[in-house]
Amino acid sequence: MKKLVRFLLLIGGLFFAGVYLLPIYVLIVNSFKTQKGIYFNVLSFPSENFFTWGNYPEAIERLGFFKALFNSLAISVSATLLIIAFTSMAAWALVRYKSKISSGLFYLFAAAMLVPFQCVMLPLVSLMGKLGLLNPPGLVFMYLGFGSSLSIILYHGFIKNIPVELEEAATIDGCGVFRLFWVIVFPLLKTITITVAILNIMWIYNDFLLPMLTINRPEWQTLPLKTFLFFGQFSKRWDLATAGLILSMIPIILFYLSAQKYIVKGVTEGAIK
C-alpha cells in the first residue's frame, strides 16, 4: 500500500512538474524558430527548415537590451536596498518598543497586504503625477511603499528571536541607538535580509503594470516594458518576443540560484510565533 501511495505521489509530482515547466519549454524551443515555424507547430523542436540563431541578436538590438537591463537592475536594486534599510529599522522599533501604538502599526502593515494594487493604482498614479514623480525615482519610492508590509512582517518575526541582552549590553557600553542597530542587530539579520532581498528583487524586476503606468520615456523603460513592444495591435513578433523573454529571465534566474538556499531558512526563522 505504501509503495502504491509513493508511486501515485511520484506520478502526480511529475505531472505537476511538467505542467509548470511547459511554458518554459515553449519559450526556449520557439526562441530558435522563425515566425513561420512557430505558427506551424508551437510545441515541436525547431526543424531544419525553421531553425534560426538570428532571433537573439535581433532581439538584443531591438530591445536596447543592455540599456533596459541597466534600468531594470538600477530600479530593482535601489528599491530593494531602501526596503531593507527602512523595514528592518521599522520592524526592530516595533519589536523592542512595545506599546499599543506599535502593535496597532504592526497590524496595520499586516492589513495593508490584503489591499490589491489595482484598488489604489489610479489615485496613486494621479497623485504622483501632480508631484512630478512619474519617473524612476518616483517608481522606486512607490516600490518602497508596496514592499514594506511583507518585509516588516518577515523582519518582525525574526527580530523577536534575537536575545535582547545583546542590545542591553551594548547600550551599557555607551552604544547609541543608530549604532546599536547597524553594528549589533543588523549583522544578525543576514538570513532574513537575503530572503527579503530575493523576494523583492524578483517581484520588482518582473513587474510590468507599475512601470507601465509611471514610466513615459523610452530611455527609462525596463525589460518587461521593452519586451511588450514586440506585441503590436496588428502583428506579434513571437519569434523575437520569446528570445527577448529568455534574455530577460537569465539575470533573475542566476540571482535566484545563487541565493535560493537562504529562502526557506529565512522564511522559517522569520515566521510569526
Q: Please give the pLDDT value at position 87.
A: 94
202 against 170, higher pLDDT: 202
Long-range contacts of 216-225 (CB under 8 A, 24+ apart): 216/134, 217/135, 219/67, 220/71, 220/135, 220/136, 221/68, 221/71, 222/68, 222/71, 222/72, 222/75, 223/63, 223/65, 223/68, 223/69, 223/71, 223/72, 223/247, 223/248, 224/72, 224/248, 225/68
Q: Please give the pLDDT value at position 89.
A: 92
The residue count of the chain comes to 273
Q: Please give the pLDDT value at position 167.
A: 81
Q: Please give the pLDDT value at position 18.
A: 87
The answer as to whether 12 is a domain residue is no
The answer as to whether 168 is a domain residue is yes
Tell me the CB-side half-sphere exposure of residue 269, using CA atoms within 13 A: 19
pLDDT digits (tens, 9 = 90+) for 100-158: 888 888 888 888 888 888 788 888 888 888 888 888 898 999 999 888 998 999 898 88
pLDDT digits (tens, 9 = 90+) for 48-98: 777 888 888 988 888 888 999 999 999 999 999 999 999 999 999 888 888
pLDDT digits (tens, 9 = 90+) for 3-32: 788 888 888 888 888 888 888 888 888 888
Average pLDDT over every residue of 219-236: 78
The answer as to whether 24 is a domain residue is no
In the predicted structure, residue 185 carries a pLDDT above the cut 60 = yes
CATH code assigned at 79:
1.10.3720.10
Among 214, 251, 207, which Cα is nearest to 228's?
A: 207
Q: Please give the pLDDT value at position 190.
A: 85
The answer as to whether 39 is a domain residue is no
The answer as to whether 4 is a domain residue is no
Could you list the residue range(s) of the whole structural domain that residue 152 is in? 61-269
The answer as to whether 207 is a domain residue is yes
- ∠ CA 117-189-272, nearest 5°, is 60
- The total number of structural domains that make up the chain: 1
Cα radius of gyration (the chain): 23
The answer as to whether 243 is a domain residue is yes
Band (pLDDT 50/70/90 cuts) for residue 259 is confident
Average pLDDT over every residue of 241-253: 87
Distance CA 249, CA 239 (A): 16
The answer as to whether 191 is a domain residue is yes
In the predicted structure, residue 273 carries a pLDDT above the cut 70 = no
Q: Please give the pLDDT value at position 124.
A: 84
Least confident of 6-10, 59-63, 172-176, 257-261: 257-261
Q: Please give the pLDDT value at position 73.
A: 92
pLDDT digits (tens, 9 = 90+) for 187-198: 888 888 988 988
223 touches 185 (CB < 8 A): no
Band (pLDDT 50/70/90 cuts) for residue 265 is low
How many other CB atoms are found less than 10 A from the CB of residue 34?
17
Q: Please give the pLDDT value at position 80.
A: 94
49 against 209, higher pLDDT: 209
Q: Which of 174-183, 202-211, 250-259 has the highest mean pLDDT?
A: 202-211
